[in-house]
Amino acid sequence: MAKGKITIAGIGPGSKEDITPAVIEAVSKADVVVGYKYYFQFIEPYLKSGCQCIDTGMKRERERAEQAFAMAKEGKNVVVISSGDAGIYGMAPLIYEMSKKEQGARSKSDTVVPPDIEVLPGISAFQKAASLLGCPMGHDFCILSLSDLMTPWATIERRIRAAAIGDFVTAIYNPKSNGRYWQLHRLVEIFLQEGRSPETPVGYVRQAGRDDQEVKLTTLGQFDPEDVDMFTVVIIGNSQSYITSPPSGSPQEGRDLPPHPSASAQGERGVFITPRGYYRDKEQEAKCKGQEIMIQSFRTILSEMRHPEVPKWRLWPLLHAIHTTVDFSMERCLWMDERATEILYNKVKGGSLRHIVTDVTMAASGIRKGALERLGIEVHCYINDPRTKQMAEEKGITRSQACMRLAAEEYPEALYVVGNAPTALFEICDLVHKGQMHPAGIIAAPVGFVHVCESKHAVKTLKRIPKIIVEGRKGGSNLAATLCNAILTYDDAELLRPGRDL
C-alpha cells in the first residue's frame, strides 16, 4: 500500500486572491479534502475530478483530524483545510498532536506506515485585516483569542492584561458570539485600566476578503464591542499608533478626519499606522518617555500611600503633590473642599474659568503650557507689573497685596494660585469680604514661618469658593503649580494617566 500524506493548508481569509500558489497546487493534487463545510466554496474551483470532499460542521475539529488519518492510512493524499493560516487557531496543532498519539499507540506488528505531514502557511485573518486598515502591525504585536472553549477565562484575562501592560499592538480573534457577549467589553476595560489611551486607534474588519467585507476605524474610547461578531478581527494599536488623514485621491483628502465608528468607505476614513520607531520625532519621543516615567511614578506613589482609598477628586491632586515633593506627609497636609477638583475642572470645561492669577512668576511658569493652550486659558502674574511697585509704595503694602488688588480689578473671577506669599492670601480674603473679588477657586500653598498657617486658616472661611490648601508651613510655588495642573488634567484621573501636556 502506498504511503499516505496529510497536508494541512491555510486557505487564507476567504478571497481567491489570498490563497497561495502552494496551497492551490496541494488542493489540486488531493485525493481527499477534509474541512469545515463553509470553506469548500473557496477551493472548489481547484479540485481535481474525483476528489472526495469530507465536510463537517463547526466545532468538529477532532472528527476532521480522525477522518484525515483514516484516509491517509489507506494511502491517499489528504489535504486538511483551515481558514487563514492553519497554524494559527487552525488544524495544524491538532493533527500533529494526534500523530504523536497514534505513533505511541502503534504496535510492532502494525504494518500501516504513518503518513507524512506537511503544513502550508496561509494569509491569516489578522494580516488581511491589517492590510485593509493600513499598517497597524508595524511594531511588536500579539494575537489573542477570546474563546474560552479550550482556555480558561482567568488565563485569557492574564494574557489580556499582559498585552495591555506590554504596550503590544493586539489582534483579537473570536471577539464575540451568541454565548460570548461580555468578554470584549472586559478586554476594553482592562486596556483602559492599564493606561492605554482612549485615543488609541482601533480597527475592525468583518469577513475580511469576502464579498460582505466591512472595514471600520475608530478609537478605544469610542469603540463599541456590540458592533462586532464572530466573523470580525479587531486590532488595537499601541501607544505610538495613530490615524492619518484620508488616503490620497479620496473625497476627504487634505483635511483631518476624526475617527468614527461608522467609517467604512475608504474615502471616509484615514489610515491606521503603527510606526517602526526608527523615525520618530525626537521631541515627541522625549515627551512619550517623560509621560511613561510620570505614569510609573504615580503607580509607585499609589502603591506606597498609607490611605490610597480616597475619592478621585482628592486622589488626583494628592498624587501630583506627592510626585512634586516626594513627601508622603501630603496625605495629611492636603486639605480641600468636597469635590473641589471636580468642580473647578467643570468650570474649565464649561468655559466659565478662562483666567488664572498667580502671586509669583515661578508658580505661573510651572503651569503646563500645553494644558493652557489646549483649554484656552490665560495665566496672569502682576508681580513685575510697574503698577504693582507703584501701588505698593503709595499704599504702604507688600507687592503681593498690590498684585491681588490689580488682579481683582481685571480678573475678579479667576482661579487664584498662591505659592509664596501669605499676605496675598490675606488680601484675597479681604477683597472677597469687600465684594471686590469672586474667585472661581483658590489654591493656597504659601510656604514659610511667619503668618503662613494663619493665612490658610483665613482662606478656609470662604465657604462658597472651592479651595485646595496645603496646611501648615509646607507649600511653595512648584506645589501650587502642580495642584493647578491636577485641575487642568482632571479628565486623565480615571485612567491614572498623568503627563499628557508635558
Residues annotated as catalytic are 323
Phi/psi of residue 117, nearest 5 degrees? -125, 135
CA distance 456 to 429: 10
Is residue 475 within 8 A of residue 451, CB to CB? The reply is: no
Contact (Cβ atoms closer than 8 angstroms) between residue 302 and residue 195:
no
The stretches of 112-254 forming alpha helices (DSSP H) are 125-133, 153-165, 183-193
Q: Which three cell numbers stand for residue 229?
A: 461578531
Which amino acid makes up residue 431? L
**Which grid coordinates are listed for 28?**
489540486
At residue 43, φ and ψ (nearest 5 deg) are: -115, -5
183-193 and 153-165 helices cross at what angle (nearest 10)?
30
Q: Confirm if 78 and 4 have CB atoms less than 8 A apart.
A: yes
List the one residue out of 135, 49, 48, 129 whose CA is nearest residue 83: 129
| 13 vs 128: CA distance, rounded Å | 7
- Mark out the alpha helices in 87-234 (DSSP H runs): 92-105, 125-133, 153-165, 183-193
Distance, CA of 418 to CA of 428 (rounded, Å):
10
Give the DSSP letter of residue 12. B
For residues 11 and 122, the answer to whether their CB atoms sit within 8 Å is: yes
Closest to 112 (Cα-Cα) out of 78, 77, 79, 71: 71
- Per-residue b/e over 55-72, b at no fewer than 16 CB within 10 Å? eeeeeebeebbebbbebb
Chain-centroid distance of CA 61 in Å reads 35
Give the end-to-end CA distance of the chain in Å, rounded to a whole number.
Answer: 74
In angstroms, rounded to a whole number, what is the distance separating the alpha carbons of residues 165 and 187? 12
Distance between CA atoms of 427 and 493, rounded to whole angstroms?
Answer: 33
